Amino acid sequence: MARLPWLKLHTEIRTDPKMQALSDLEFRTWINILCLSAESKVRGVICIDVGLAYPVEGIARALFISIEDFTSCINKFEKLRMIDVDQDGIITVTHFDDRQYEKPSDKPEEVAKRVSKCRSKKSNADVTPVKHKGNAIEEDKEKEGDTDTELDINNNDNAREEIVITVNDTEDAVPEIPQTANETPHTVNESSKAVSMAIGTKAVDWAQKNWGRLIPKGESDAILAWCDEFFSRGSPDPDAVVIEGLKRCLDADVRNMFYLRRVLTDWREAGVLTVANIEAREAERKSQKEHKRNKDPGNMPKNLVPRKNTNYDDFYL
């Protein structure tokens, strides 16, 4: 018999302050969200597959509530930091793995150790061996001709980070490559990496200071992703554009990723790349609204022109 999806429900849920702040509908929706996240391919994350979000209508239907109630519940859960919602609409239950691990090897600290070990091995594998080129000649009694000998630095702890090149006596000496030529790519990589790291940091810091709450990793990653999006489209200052979006969330008193995504998606589709574009677009919209409000009634059809109210309207002798 196949094993059924499961989740742990701790007894402290009865007295937890966040749970007590929920209505009956919100509490029921929260339990159903935990169930959905436990059934997901990625435990703790409500998604169709890795990086692929469910449509809002589908989740609301699975939770047996309306879309309006679902949106209201999601906003409440985000404010209480019970979930993270990224820019693609993927919902992640906060600290799900801390309480729902299945076996000792699945505990967060054990997973962190395995990830650290894996990264350490990968970093060792990516080490570029130092090449020594010159007139070095190594005699090979079994084989004649050109042979390259490279020591495996991954499987031999005592291996040297070098490559010994064997050449024939008749071959010309290989000229030594200047050290500065080898260092140039590293310098370019470091500078591009620094630029990439700088993009988005100002926007995240602004949200942290002005939204009046801590910005969880899921939200900060979404903000960074939006900065990268506008940068890739040619924005000279993507942080400033995203900060303007964060300000719109603050003005509307809706400080979550759903509202920010709607604002930034609208700007992206309109080709906005700078703060000046945003200001010009909003000024144009304001002008259009004022024009509609102050439109001359004389331009309206006669049957739509408001009549002056008198005591003798529609009265005939």
Band (253; pLDDT cuts 50, 70, 90): confident
State whether the Cα torsion 43-48-50-56 is positive or negative. Answer: negative
At residue 68, the pLDDT reads 92
At residue 316, the pLDDT reads 47
Band (14; pLDDT cuts 50, 70, 90): confident
Q: Give residue-wise pLDDT tens across range 128-138.
A: 555 555 554 44
As a whole number, mean pLDDT of residues 175-187 equals 46
CA distance 67 to 58: 9
The average confidence (pLDDT) of the chain is: 73
As a whole number, mean pLDDT of residues 157-179 equals 45
CA distance 107 to 317: 92
Which of 217, 28, 8 has its CA nearest to residue 96?
Answer: 8
pLDDT exceeds cutoff 70 at 84: yes
At residue 282, the pLDDT reads 87
As a whole number, mean pLDDT of residues 247-271 equals 88
CATH node for 198-293: 1.10.10.630
At residue 184, the pLDDT reads 46
pLDDT exceeds cutoff 50 at 166: no
At residue 131, the pLDDT reads 54
Q: Give residue-wise pLDDT tens across range 51-79.
A: 677 788 888 888 889 999 999 999 999 99
At residue 262, the pLDDT reads 87
Percentage of the residues of the chain whose pLDDT score is greater than 90: 17
At residue 118, the pLDDT reads 65
* Torsion from C-alpha of 306, 310, 313, 317, nearest 10 degrees: -150
Percentage of the residues of the chain whose pLDDT score is greater than 70: 60
The residue behind tokens 């002056």 is 308
At residue 236, the pLDDT reads 92
Domain ranges across the chain: 11-100, 134-175, 198-293
At residue 276, the pLDDT reads 92
As a whole number, mean pLDDT of residues 30-50 equals 83
User: Is this model's pTM higher than 0.75 or not?
Assistant: no
The verdict on domain 11-100 having CATH code 1.10.10.10 is yes
pLDDT exceeds cutoff 90 at 110: no
Phi-psi domain of 43 (left: phi exceeds 0; alpha: psi -120 through 50; beta: other): beta
CA distance 240 to 249: 14
CA distance 280 to 272: 10
